[in-house]
Chains A and B, each alone.
Chain A
Amino acid sequence: MDSLFQNMQGIPMNHYLIFCSIIFVIGVIGVLIRRNVIIIMMSIELMLNSVNLLLAAFSAYSGDPSGQVFVFFIMALAAAEVAVGLAIIIMVYRNTKSVDIESLSKLRW
């Protein structure tokens, strides 16, 4: 475990920060411009996972395990969210025969 921490610390903190921010922004852009609901969900997962990586890096740098515990919370709740989300998408698909967000325009935005 200590050698893992040393390996992680071999890379400067700023690199982790910039890398995670880029992944997060890719996720945000994906949510905003893609029209397919499945791909939007994938983009949201990308956002959450960039947070996971960032927390793990911070935790390794400060030698404080609570950041890694938080990662487990995020994983568990993200899984719960995806389970509910896929169920909702199936429900929508049965009614509209489409997973395109444009097909849902009964309510005005």
Chain B
Amino acid sequence: MSAIITLSLLGILILYLGLYKAKNALLPVSILGLVAALGLEIYAWNQTAEPLYKGMVLFDHFALSFSIVCISLTILILFLSKEYFKAISDNIAEYYTLILFSLTGALMVCSYHNFAMLFIGLEIMSVALYILVGIRRKDKASNEASLKYFLMGAFSTGFLLFGIALLYGSTGSFDLAAIKQYILDNPTSVSPMFYAGILLLLVGLCFKVGVAPFHFWTPDVYDGAPILITSFMSTVVKIASFAGFLRLFSTVLVPLNEFWTPVLMTVVIITLFVGNISALMQTSFKRMMAYSSISQAGYMLFAILSIGPNSASGILTYSMAYGLASVIAFGALILVKRHVGSDQFESFNGLGKTNPGLAFAVTVGMLSLAGIPLTAGFIGKFMMFSNVMNDYHTVLLVLAAINAAIGVYYYLRVVVHMYFMKPSEEPVVSLPINFKVVFIVAVILTIILGVYPNAVIALI
């Protein structure tokens, strides 16, 4: 809880710093505050976990580990933001504040124990993002992305709320423990309203995490938003939404899994094919990453599909691998786009010659996304696949393997462009020190996680 309070106060502090024109202090203060919040989360690790504030929030190891991942990824992303916002506008304090508020919402989604907190957390997270997506006010693509994200976000909130209302109507409580007790008490006579509620909740949450057939906003919004915001959306926000999704299904709705497993199975299969096949056809790196995030969300749903004791650690490992690789990819895209002015695959041409360090980092990131051994992505995919294998979903496993193979093709396309295509006559892409630090940290973590995964798996 102290981390959530720290971050909310930090956001207000940053607004005041902006008011008093302390522009150079914004980034260091934000990073310091985030590190303090990270410390508080780690400090809370050994305390007994019980629902706080009348059962509103619960900080168990599940919530804490996802919060730690979200905060760490935000620190990495903020390191990349130096100089980035200044090119957009003079008033940059608001951007840092909005990112911090959005992160606060993400932490609430990770640690809710009552539907009220889930709803409030999702809204805090999304409302701040609606603004962040549209911060390039003169750019029509950014405007359009912002409007679409707002409309789709509000629309999906409606479904989520109707689902919550139906669950409340049949159980008489918003508390997760009470709802679980209701299912255990009436295993055979759960009211039909409850089932309808589950379906509506599923629709709302699928919209939020962006899986097919509710994915159509994802590519446009990721494409239109500024790259830094896209990296925040596709890592922190997505991971937090998945944590909320998993928490609901793994603690409350497990006994009814015969009802929702076929629905989720259909969603997963559609997601994998739509995401991967559309990613194949893209010519823009940024749009390819948007579709790849859809297909990665499909893999993450495996953990919810075959729910068990390993689901939480599986999704944690997967989201760490995915988050680190995405930060590398989007960071490299910021540099390349600043230099060449386009986000097509061609702008990566010859990077292996002109800037071997950057090219190596991008290669590690892409290998991790594709799930090649010795990277974190492999461990994540391995855990997801072995979960599903234990449940004998053979058809799903075959389809997933086909999709993983398709994935290798389009992820390695960037690598081919970097190493085997002739560079244009541009001078060397410069690599600022903050980008260097982020790339080194992310690459090292990706490889450590790939070689020695037990450190993370044992956490939850």
Contact = CB atoms under 8 A, between A and B. Distances in A.
A47 B143 contact: no
Interface in B157-209: 157-158, 161-162, 164-166, 168-169, 172-174, 193
Interface string B212-234: 00001001100110000000000
Interface in B138-165: 138, 140-141, 143-148, 150-151, 154-155, 157-158, 161-162, 164-165
Nearest to A96: B140
A66 B174 contact: yes
Contacts of B141: 106-107
Contact of A104 (B137, B148, B154): B148
Nearest to B163: A51
B140 A106 contact: yes
A70 B174 contact: yes
B155 A44 contact: yes
A95 B161 contact: no
Interface in A23-54: 24, 27-28, 31, 37, 40-41, 44, 47-48, 50-51, 54
B119 interface: yes
Contacts of B137: 91
Contacts of B164: 51, 70
B158 A27 contact: yes
Interface string B420-448: 00000000000000000000000000000
Contacts of A84: 127, 130-131, 150
B274 to A, nearest CB: 13
A6 B155 CA distance: 34
A74 B123 CA distance: 10
Contacts of A85: 130, 150-151, 154
A67 B172 CA distance: 8
Given A55-B165, A88-B147, A77 B119 contact: yes
Contact of A81 (B127, B148, B173, B219): B127
Contacts of A51: 158, 161-162, 164-165
A80 B123 contact: yes
Nearest to B222: A107
Contacts of B165: 51, 54-55, 58
A7 interface: no
Interface residues of A, number: 41
B25 interface: no
Contact of B151 (A40, A55, A70): A40
A19 interface: no
A81 B156 CA distance: 13
A16 B324 CA distance: 48
A48 B173 contact: no
A36 to B, nearest CB: 12
Contacts of A28: 155, 158
Contacts of A15: none
Contact of A91 (B143, B158, B172): B143
A58 B168 contact: yes
A104 B139 CA distance: 12
B155 A31 contact: yes
B158 A107 contact: no
B29 to A, nearest CB: 25
A89 interface: yes
Contacts of B150: 81, 84-85, 88
Contacts of A48: 157-158, 161
7 contacts: A24-B162, A31-B151, A48-B157, A77-B123, A77-B127, A108-B220, A109-B220
A-B pairs, 6 with minimum CB distance: A47-B158, A58-B169, A107-B220, A104-B144, A51-B161, A77-B123
Given A27-B158, A81-B154, A84-B131, 13 more contacts: A51-B162, A54-B162, A54-B165, A64-B172, A67-B168, A70-B115, A81-B157, A85-B130, A88-B134, A88-B147, A91-B134, A91-B146, A95-B143
